[in-house]
């Protein structure tokens, strides 16, 4: 008898994918399960964020006698802890930690992957009840198994990512992850505490009508970016214009909207910060990978984000990411002004 149950959990989905690869060890499924578990724990705390004044502020002691940590430190510890206790990850890099952490124990030294993450993205939005996220990037280590992982394992270009994902803590909580086989989205069903496949095989529309950028810095952007933004506003109705501006200040949420509905997100360099604000390894690279796997594109204004050779854990990069045709159009403006400067 075949039971007709349509909904697949994250675990069931990753295990089914495994079956198609007889040589696969299951370590990636196990890693995604670890990330999912940490995400559920973070989700519970994010949902209680408004109660912080009642339950205790950062730095105080809560009812169980534990220190109440800032949510981004809490999230960092959950993701790091889940990966350290798992069997798939040899070390991590995090926005919240100055340096890479090499787990260096017998199980971890034999693990296949290293993970880079931004434990809470858009954390400035916590206090005002706006969606926030987690972003992660997974690389197969290049150092030999059986030894502690090394810096080189983390400093690989984004095109070497095996998987990348994000969690969005929003009106519902979702985990989206991509491998070279495509991008899939899972929504947390709170009644069973499981991420369930809700957005199979995500395809980023080739074009859309959202553009997401911080307009406050308009006069700090270079001429090409300014011209493109102006073109978004002046786009004739016959070409689907003017585009709608949407910028929430949580990149995960902005990119998620644009990935599903079609649009472009930009965090360009500014006169005072030529490399912008976002970090290459745990913000730009994973989102670039996911969006590309869904048919979109991502550049730093000069080259494909995924082809940049990283040098440091916390290095910054400008980011332009989204629907393919909108990216092409942006690039024409950037090219025009770059050429005019020479």
User: Binding of ligand AHG at residue 277 (CB under 6 A)?
Assistant: yes
Antiparallel, parallel or unpaired: β 210-212 and 263-267: parallel
Crossing angle for the helix pair 71-85 and 27-47, to the nearest 10 degrees:
160
User: Binding of ligand AHG at residue 143 (CB under 6 A)?
Assistant: no
User: Which of 8-16, 117-125, 192-200, 232-240 is the region at the interface with ligand AHG (rule: CB under 6 A)?
Assistant: 117-125
Least Å from the CB of residue 26 to ligand AHG: 31
| Residue 294 interacting partner from ligand AHG, Mn ion, none (CB closer than 5 to 8 Å by kind) | none
User: Binding of ligand AHG at residue 250 (CB under 6 A)?
Assistant: yes
Rg (CA), the chain: 20
Per-residue buried b or exposed e for 220-252, using 16+ beta carbons within 10 Å of the residue's own CB: ebbebbbbbbebbeebeeeeeeebeebbbebbb
User: Binding of ligand AHG at residue 214 (CB under 6 A)?
Assistant: yes
What's the CA angle centered on 110, arms 108 and 112, to 5 degrees?
Answer: 90
Site map 77..96 versus ligand AHG, x via CB under 6 A: ------------------x-
Least Å from the CB of residue 188 to Mn ion: 20
How many residues in total does the chain contain? 342
Selected from 14, 111, 123, 161, the binder of ligand AHG by CB under 6 A is 123
Selected from 91, 122, 170, 296, the binder of ligand AHG by CB under 6 A is 122
Q: What share of the chain is helix, strand, coil (3-state, %, to 5)?
A: 40, 25, 35
- What is the CB neighbour count within 10 angstroms for residue 200? 12
Taking CB atoms, the residue at the shortest distance from Mn ion is: 121
Number of residues that bind ligand AHG (CB under 6 A): 11
Selected from 27, 45, 95, 292, the binder of Mn ion by CB under 5 A is 95
Rounded to a whole number of angstroms, the distance between the first and last alpha carbons of the chain is: 71
Footprint of Mn ion on 119-148 (CB under 5 A): 120-121
61 DSSP 8-state letter: B
Tell me the C-alpha distance between 62 and 74, whole Å. 14
DSSP secondary structure letters along 233-250: HH--GGGT-SPEE---S-
Selected from 27, 45, 96, 118, the binder of ligand AHG by CB under 6 A is 118
User: Binding of ligand AHG at residue 130 (CB under 6 A)?
Assistant: no
User: In the complex, which residues of this chain contact ligand AHG (CB under 6 A)?
Assistant: 95, 118, 121-124, 214, 249-251, 277
User: In the complex, which residues of this chain contact Mn ion (CB under 5 A)?
Assistant: 95, 118, 120-121
């Amino acid at each position: 008898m075949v039971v007709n149950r349509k909904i697949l959990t994250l675990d069931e989905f990753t295990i089914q994918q495994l079956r198609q690869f007889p040589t696969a060890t299951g370590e990636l499924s196990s890693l995604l399960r670890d990330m999912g578990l940490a995400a559920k724990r973070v989700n519970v705390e994010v949902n209680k964020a408004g109660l912080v004044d009642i339950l205790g502020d950062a730095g105080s002691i809560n009812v169980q006698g534990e220190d109440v940590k800032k949510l981004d430190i809490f999230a960092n510890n959950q993701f790091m802890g889940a990966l350290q206790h798992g069997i798939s990850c040899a070390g991590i890099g995090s926005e919240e930690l100055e340096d890479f952490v090499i787990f260096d124990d017998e199980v971890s030294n034999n693990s296949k992957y290293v993970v880079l993450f931004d434990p809470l993205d858009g954390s400035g939005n916590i206090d005002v009840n706006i969606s926030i996220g987690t972003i992660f990037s997974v690389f197969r280590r290049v150092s030999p198994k059986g030894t502690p992982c090394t810096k080189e394992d983390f400093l690989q270009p984004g095109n070497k990512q095996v998987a990348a994902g994000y969690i969005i803590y929003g009106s519902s909580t979702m985990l989206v992850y991509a491998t070279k086989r495509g991008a899939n989205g899972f929504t947390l069903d709170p009644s069973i505490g499981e991420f369930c496949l809700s957005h199979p095989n995500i395809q980023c529309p080739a074009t859309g009508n959202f553009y997401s950028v911080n307009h406050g810095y308009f006069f700090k952007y270079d001429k090409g970016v300014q011209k493109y933004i102006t073109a978004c506003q002046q786009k004739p109705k016959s070409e689907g214009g003017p585009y709608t501006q949407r910028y929430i200040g949580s990149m995960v949420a902005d990119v998620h909207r644009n990935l599903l509905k079609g649009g472009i997100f930009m965090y360009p360099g500014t006169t005072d910060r030529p490399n912008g604000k976002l970090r290459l390894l745990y913000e730009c690279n994973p989102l670039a990978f996911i969006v590309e796997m869904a048919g979109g594109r991502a550049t730093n204004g000069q080259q494909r984000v995924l082809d940049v050779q990283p040098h440091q854990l916390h290095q910054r990069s400008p980011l332009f990411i989204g629907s393919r045709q909108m990216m092409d159009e942006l690039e024409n403006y950037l090219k025009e002004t770059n050429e005019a400067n020479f």
